[in-house]
Each structure stands twice: as structure tokens, then as C-alpha cells.
Amino acid sequence: MNWYREISPTEKSTLWTCFGGWALDAVDTQAFSLVIPALIATWGISKGQAGLIGGATLVAGALGGLFAGVLSDRYGRVRALQITVLWFSLFTLLSACAQNYEQLLVLKSLQGLGFGGEWTAGSVLLSETIRAKHRGKALGIVQSAWGFGWAGAVLLYAIVFSWVSPQWAWRVLFALGAIPAVLVLYARRNVPEPPRDTSATTLKLDAKLPVLGIFDRSVIRTTIVGGLIGLGAHGGYHAITTWLPTYLKTQRHLSVLGTGGYLAVVIVAFICGCFVSAWLQDRIGRRLNLILFALCCAITVNLYVFLPIGDTAMLALSFPLGLFSAGIPATLGALFNELYPQGVRGTGVGFCYNFGRIVSAGFPVLVGHMGNSMPIGSALGIDAGAAYGLVVIAALMLPETKGRKIAETRSSSDPGTQNRQADAAHVAGASRDAQKAHEARAS
């Protein structure tokens, strides 16, 4: 943790603000899956209706991520983060007051807008605050907050449902999801807005709507390739999480998925995967790290579906699968942020990450269709292999961005503060010189 001692108080406060926001988002998102039986018992809804709430929340989350990226480019990173956290907290609290299924469906969908937006706004803010040589570690660690939030949801579920009757316990659990609103007060006092780049390229892109700026000729290749990476990463993940439990229960007749041990292994593996990816990507680079984890995911999931192993071995194999699948999203934050100029960075990151989330819904559907003519395990292995193969191919089409300089914020006590101020003065001076030259030509 020597790197943590090097970063400034501003960098640390921004890191923990983003970490806390993502962890608390995970608490509420994962809590929903735990309270589904209580909702079914309370309102007599079907499993399909409960699944529709989860699906609608995920789709709304993807749209929220796209919107938050545009918002952060137009109004600032910190303000966008505050808006998404407040939105998420408000509709989480209102979800606890829902009186019927229809109300809960609408409220959870609206809550999803803030959930998806928080990741986009937070990742852009952190990327522009943390110095380049530690950016991968910081963003990877923030991604691990999802695992900690997941574990927190399980713990809160156990406590609340032990003390409150099920018909009220789910409401209490949702109400606790309003806690992230406290982060807004902390962010207002401790997290400054990163400086805005005034270079000619950024000014040119800012002259357009940010959502159109990511299709500018100078960055459209990045947008297309980044979208393909997001598609492959989410497609493989959703194919696995959607069909692997069904495959293991129905075709392999394994009971491991119903045990607390399996859940503990998956959560710990996710956290470890984020930490390994965080450490590795600042050493070997974003592109190679992404390729490595994608290949390992494809290999591991095929071992899952083709090796004739029992419960114990399957439980052990769950750890590397969870670790490798977590390492991919832990890399995307740094990679996507380093690919775009500041004027459209939020929009670009939001598009690459969330375009994949929306379109990747086709991968689980494809597994189902393929399963009509072949064993579901074979369909899953082929589908996930194709998705992660797309990640590898797309990553090879991108430049390595490790160490790339983007806007950085340091406290006045940092050794690098004077350099940052000198860079800002140089940019401002260059802008003034360009303006004078333009006026001279005009006269």
C-alpha cells in the first residue's frame, strides 16, 4: 500500500467517496434478489413478475449511465455524482413505501437510472483526480466495492429478517438504501471538481452536443471499439450468470448453488479479482490485462461445462471463475476514461460501458435458442467463449493507455501541485496566444 501513502488527501477523499457510493449501490441492488421470496409471499406475484422488476432496473441502469455521462460533461463530475446519488437514494426510499406491484416496478425502474449513473459519474471523477501511475489501482479497488456491498446486503438481510416479520422486513431493507444520500454532504465538503482542459481539441468537441461528440471523426473508432468491448464483457457475464445456475442444477444435478458456502466463495472471488486486476493493470497495462482476464474467463467457463466433476470441485472452480470475471470490469474504468478527451469523456465512458449492458441482453437469449438443438452446457460454453473472444479482438485494436496523462487534481501540499499549476498556466497562455493570433488574422 505504498502507493496509497503517495496520493494526496483530495485523491483519498475522492477514492473513498466513489468506493462508498458503489458499495451502497450494491447493497440495495443485491438486497432485491434476497427479498424476492418475501415480495412473492406479500403480494402473491409470480416469479416472472419479480424477474421483470430486476430486468427493468438493469435496463434503466444502463440508460442512467448514458445520461449521467452527458450530464457530467455538461455540468461537472462532482455535480453529476451528487445528482445520481440523490436520485438513487430518493427512489430507493420511495420503493420501501410501494403499496402494490405496479408501484414497485415503476419506482425500482426510476431507481435504476441513478444506480447506473453513479458508476459513470464516479469513475470519470476518480480517473481525473487520481494521478496516472495509480489510476488503475484506484479504479480497480472502487470496483471491488460491489463485492463488499454484496456482502453487506447479505448481512443486513440476515439481521433485518431475524428481527422483523417478512412483510415489513423488505421495506426496512429498502429504506436503509437511502443512506447513500449522506455521501452528497461529504462530497460537497471534501471532493473538488477536477480542472477543465482548455486545449483546442477539447474546445472543438465541446462546441457540439457531447452525445454527438463521441461520434466525431477523431474519436469514432474509439467509440466503436470501446462499445464492442463493453458488449463482449457484459455479454459473457450475463450469459454465465443467467444460464450457469440452470445448467448446474438441471443437467449436472449439483446442489452447490443452494449453499451459503457457494455464495461466500463467489463474493470473496469477486473482491479478490478486482484487487488482482487493480494491481496488475498498472504493471502490465490495460490492454494486456483485459486480454488476460477475458481468455481466462473463456477457458474457466468451458472447464465448468465440460469437465465431469462433482460438488466439491465445482465449488473450488467457482473461485477462479468469479475472480476472472471480476477482473474485466475492474479494468474498464481506467481504460475507457483514458481513451477520450475531457470534453466528451463522461459521455464516451457512459456509452462504451452501457451500450454493452443493453445489447448484451441478446447473449442469454442466444444461449436459450442454441439450447434447443444442443446441450445447454455446450451452448453456454460457445456463447461465453464468443463474447470473451470479442473482448480480446477489440482490445487488440486499441492503443495501450497505461500512464496516459489526463486532468489531475492534487492538494496544495502535493509535490506535484506546482507542476499542475504550471501546466494549467501553460494551457491558458497557449489559449490566449491562439486568440491573439486569430484576432490578428481577422484584422
For residue 416, count other CB atoms closer than 10 A to its CB. Answer: 14
Please check whether residues 159 and 208 belong to one and the same domain. no
d(CA 52, CA 57): 8
54 grid coordinates:
430486476
Do 134 and 210 share a domain, yes or no? no
The pLDDT assigned to 414 comes to 39
Copy the grid coordinates of residue 12.
483519498
The reply to whether 238 and 328 lie within a common domain is yes
- Cell 413478475, residue located: 49
Which of 41-55, 58-72, 286-300, 360-374 is most confident? 286-300
pLDDT at 165: 87
Count up the domains in the chain and report the number: 2
**Looking at the structure, do residues 260 and 135 belong to the same domain, yes or no?**
no
Last residue of a domain, one of 130, 158, 190: 190
pTM: 0.80
113 and 208 assigned to the same domain = no
d(CA 108, CA 171) in angstroms, rounded, equals 13
Tell me which of 139, 163, 190 is where a domain ends: 190
The string of pLDDT tens digits covering residues 404-427 is 877 543 333 333 333 344 334 433
Q: Could you tell me if residue 61 is inside a domain?
A: yes
Structure confidence by residue, pLDDT tens digits, 225-284: 999 999 999 888 878 777 776 676 667 666 655 556 677 888 899 999 999 999 999 999
Domain that holds residue 223: 203-402
* pLDDT for the residue 417: 38
The residue-averaged pLDDT of 78-87 equals: 89
Residue that the C-alpha cell 419479480 belongs to: 50
Same-domain status, 245 and 167: no
Kindly state whether residues 213 and 183 are assigned to the same domain.
no
In a domain, 441, yes or no: no
- Same domain? For 295 and 332 the reply is yes
Domain co-membership, 237 together with 346: yes
* Pair (25, 51) in one structural domain: yes
- Is residue 391 in a domain? yes
Whether residue 196 is contained in a domain is answered as no
- Give me the residue label for grid cell 467517496: 17
Mean pLDDT of 299-308: 83
More confident of the two residues 342 and 13: 13
Summary mean pLDDT of the chain: 81
Say whether both 162 and 215 belong to one domain. Answer: no
In the Cβ-directed half-sphere of 36, how many Cα atoms lie within 13 Å?
14
So what's the pLDDT on residue 410? Answer: 39
Q: Collapsing DSSP states into helix, strand and coil, what is residue 323?
A: helix
Output the pLDDT for position 112. Answer: 85
pLDDT confidence of residue 255:
60
Task: Express each pLDDT in 163-183 by its tens digit.
Answer: 988 889 999 988 887 877 777
Residue that is last in its domain, among 158, 190, 222: 190
Q: What is the pLDDT of residues 8-58, one digit of tens each?
A: 999 999 999 899 888 888 887 778 878 888 888 888 888 778 878 877 887
Write down the pLDDT at residue 428.
Answer: 42
266 compared with 128, residue with greater pLDDT: 128
CATH number of the domain residue 15 falls in: 1.20.1250.20
Beta strand residue intervals within 78-136, DSSP E: none
Q: For residues 247 and 151, state if they share a domain.
A: no
pLDDT interval class at 443 (50, 70, 90): very low
